[in-house]
Structure 1
Amino acid sequence: MTDTAPADRGHDPTAQGHDSARIRDDRTLTVLSTSDVAGIDITPADVLATVENAYRTLAAGRSDNPRKLTVKPGDGHSVAYAMLGRDGSRDVVAVKTSYKHGLHSPRDEQRYYTTLTLYDDVTGLPLAMMDCGRIGALRTPAVSALLARECAPPAARAALVIGTGTQGRLALPFLLTALPGLERLMLHGTHPDGITAVRRQLRAYFPGRDVEIVTDLREAAGAADVVVATAGPHTPAAVEASWLRPGALAVLVGHGLAPSTLHQADRVVATSEAQMRVTGTDMADAAGELPAVDAEFPAVLAGEASGRTAPDQRIFAYNSGLVVTDIALGHRFAQLALTQGMGTRVPLWQ
């Protein structure tokens, strides 16, 4: 695939102006609320560049991305995660936390909080704490789009998105940014409000473009060069490997792909094999096993491994989040917010 990264792969152009995001006060913390973060304008291209450089820096051994810590009570009513990391191109250390409560309740009754706290590893001072919901909502479709750019068949023209939740709503703008040659855009979803939201997001970034709503999932999957499965855990959608055309790329974000798409794939790419083996157990075979990963995506972006090695390969790609991408994108948001005077200064250590 075409390499569109900056010529200097150790430099992140979105990290320019780093000094403007540094706070020279060790007694206060700038807090960016949900509304603050929502008010920051950022293009899909900016997000893609930021996330891509985070992967490249990790592949170069300049960043740290330890495994997440997880706690869950015996009855499973809640789950919490803590993720620590360091972005070596931005000189930023951060901690991300995620807490979901009411897992046995209907989705609209569940409570979910996720935060990101950034520290400047040059000055040793805090940068910001922010709601991380939008960061994750943008980071994940950006990764799917980068996977498509590197692993889709040559001259890919058709894409299918399964699901109309947060990830489904943002998938198409990012796919079109990474693969502008896509001509046919298909969506399989069952919620009218979600379908409307997908169309609204697409037109916001690509006026004049529309998506085709498909009900025959098998036929749509067979026509797609790229399938991105973002549906929730209760979806009845399950694309089988035999439905996919030669050369197709199937990207798993949430649900919507049957295990056969993984086990019968000609090649398997994962953002992290270790994470796939922890969070991808629903894709295991009858013996509870997952196949080996042929390439991890940071190495693909760095040119150390190949995403695709033959035009007709059916490729399965597993998209799981790495905290270094949250850190990079969170720092980018902090730059944009702090230079605009956004956020609330809290005298946390006074």
Structure 2
Amino acid sequence: MTDTRTLKTDGAISGDDTRLRILSKSDLAGIDITLADVVATVEGAYRTLHAGQSDNPRKLTVKPQDEHSVAYAMLGRDGSRDVVAIKTSYKHGLHVGREEQHYYTTLTLYDDVTGLPVAMMDCSRIGSLRTPAVSALLARECAAPGARSALVIGTGTQGRLALPFLLTTLPGLDRLMVFGTHADGIAAVREQLRTHHRERDVEIVTDVRAAAADADVIVATAGGHTPAAVEAGWLKEGALSILVGHGLAPSTLHRADRVIATSEAQMNVTGTDMADADGKLPPVDTELPPVIAGLTAGRSCAEERIFAYNSGLVVTDIALGHRFAQLALAQGLGTEVPLWQ
């Protein structure tokens, strides 16, 4: 099939209005990108959002009464790239193990200068990179000065890259711990760490309470069935707790000295499992975009215990997805379909 897409010198992607480039999971898996590149791309998306140049509306959620599945739709616009996109996410089988679940997520990008489609892609790799990059930015901005130890709870998709990304923004970490209940996941965590930091290894812990008491940074990425539930009373002075999935008890939020979220609105939608007995969440002290922009502080003092809520913002998916689309086009990857002919 004739490739109608071209890559402009400024990195923009042009084409026609009859075809759509499809980038599959295998297409994206073959693209090399450094962790530093991912962090810089995500950080840039936050800066553009805070500057008022991007739009990130609240996500839409659909869930049946028995909660066996959940679906999200997220529309956004990246003002620095002039790209509009919509991301969809659907997970089926919330009451069964991860191996039995069905999960599909896609991202469709449009060039808001030419009005032409850029690409539609599987979004699983985008999410697997974007989320730990955000945790790494939260750690860079909010960890106590001289932080040396990190604990990752969970060994699924998000847990496997959490430590490599943390070392990208906090290279001084010298004790790396992980708690997991799946042998394959633990092996994958170790493999990913050695892939990106060949000289480093991870300490496998079984006593979550003791590990949490020693950790300067905790990143909770586990699934809903995890036995881990770190309580506020277990945390050391100055600890930073980052919630991505599960593994932290609500007390770490409600008894925190400072609360930070990537988006307070998103936290109020997806963080309801952390609500108190009255079904309420505390207000956040600041959001990540103004912290990244240097207008508010991530941390006020070395001693405070900070809770950070990492929920996905579609502008970060758009930025990283567009970066992958540029790299894919440069390598001639993807399949064009005459969708609008």
- Name the structure 2 match of 1:76: 67
> CA-atom RMSD, angstroms?
1.3
- Name the structure 1 match of 2:129: 138
1:194-343 aligned at under 5 Å gives the runs 194-343=185-334
- Name the structure 2 match of 1:186: 177
Matched letter for residue 277 of structure 1: N
Following the alignment from structure 1 to structure 2, what is the Cα–Cα distance between the partners of residues 54 and 127? 18
Matched letter for residue 210 of structure 1: D
Note if contact 1:44-1:174 (Cα within 8 Å) is conserved in structure 2.
yes
Matched letter for residue 328 of structure 2: A
Q: Which moved more, 1:139-148 or 1:217-226?
A: 217-226
- 1:288-326 CA-to-partner distances (Å, cap 9, x unmatched) read 111110000111101121110111010000000000000
Q: Secondary structure at the match of 2:238?
A: coil
TM-score normalised to structure 1 length:
0.93
Cα distance, 1:219 vs. partner? 1.2
Following the alignment from structure 1 to structure 2, what is the Cα–Cα distance between the partners of residues 81 and 270? 19
Following the alignment from structure 2 to structure 1, what is the Cα–Cα distance between the partners of residues 304 and 96? 41
Q: Secondary structure at the match of 2:26?
A: helix
Following the alignment from structure 2 to structure 1, what is the Cα–Cα distance between the partners of residues 231 and 277? 16
Following the alignment from structure 1 to structure 2, what is the Cα–Cα distance between the partners of residues 53 and 144? 15
Matched letter for residue 68 of structure 2: H
Following the alignment from structure 2 to structure 1, what is the Cα–Cα distance between the partners of residues 163 and 111? 34
Matched letter for residue 213 of structure 2: G
Cα distance, 1:103 vs. partner? 3.1
Following the alignment from structure 2 to structure 1, what is the Cα–Cα distance between the partners of residues 169 and 132? 11
Matched letter for residue 209 of structure 2: R
Cα distance, 1:110 vs. partner? 2.1
Note if contact 2:59-2:266 (Cα within 8 Å) is conserved in structure 1.
no
Note if contact 1:21-1:338 (Cα within 8 Å) is conserved in structure 2.
no
Note if contact 1:262-1:283 (Cα within 8 Å) is conserved in structure 2.
yes
Equivalent of 2:157, from 166, 169, 176?
166
Cα distance, 1:20 vs. partner? 4.3
TM-score normalised to structure 2 length:
0.95
Q: Secondary structure at the match of 1:56?
A: helix
Equivalent of 2:338, from 323, 333, 347?
347
Following the alignment from structure 2 to structure 1, what is the Cα–Cα distance between the partners of residues 66 and 257? 39
Cα distance, 1:105 vs. partner? 4.0
Following the alignment from structure 1 to structure 2, what is the Cα–Cα distance between the partners of residues 164 and 268? 25
Equivalent of 2:86, from 91, 95, 104?
95
Q: Secondary structure at the match of 2:165?
A: helix
Matched letter for residue 22 of structure 1: I
Equivalent of 2:37, from 46, 66, 76?
46
Cα distance, 1:252 vs. partner? 0.4
Structure 1 residues 215, 103: closer, same or farther in 2, change over 3 A?
closer
Structure 1 residues 246, 104: closer, same or farther in 2, change over 3 A?
closer
Cα distance, 1:73 vs. partner? 3.0
Cα distance, 1:101 vs. partner? 2.4
- 1:321-349 CA-to-partner distances (Å, cap 9, x unmatched) read 00000000000000100011110011111
Following the alignment from structure 2 to structure 1, what is the Cα–Cα distance between the partners of residues 101 and 241? 30
Matched letter for residue 132 of structure 1: C
Following the alignment from structure 1 to structure 2, what is the Cα–Cα distance between the partners of residues 251 and 54? 20
Cα distance, 1:19 vs. partner? 4.2
Structure 1 spans left out of the alignment, 5+ residues? 1-15
Matched letter for residue 271 of structure 1: T
Structure 1 residues 215, 104: closer, same or farther in 2, change over 3 A?
closer
Following the alignment from structure 1 to structure 2, what is the Cα–Cα distance between the partners of residues 223 and 17? 50
Structure 1 residues 300, 211: closer, same or farther in 2, change over 3 A?
same
Structure 2 spans left out of the alignment, 5+ residues? 1-6
Matched letter for residue 295 of structure 1: T
Following the alignment from structure 1 to structure 2, what is the Cα–Cα distance between the partners of residues 112 and 213? 28
Note if contact 2:8-2:14 (Cα within 8 Å) is conserved in structure 1.
no
Matched letter for residue 316 of structure 1: F
Matched letter for residue 211 of structure 1: V
Cα distance, 1:107 vs. partner? 2.9
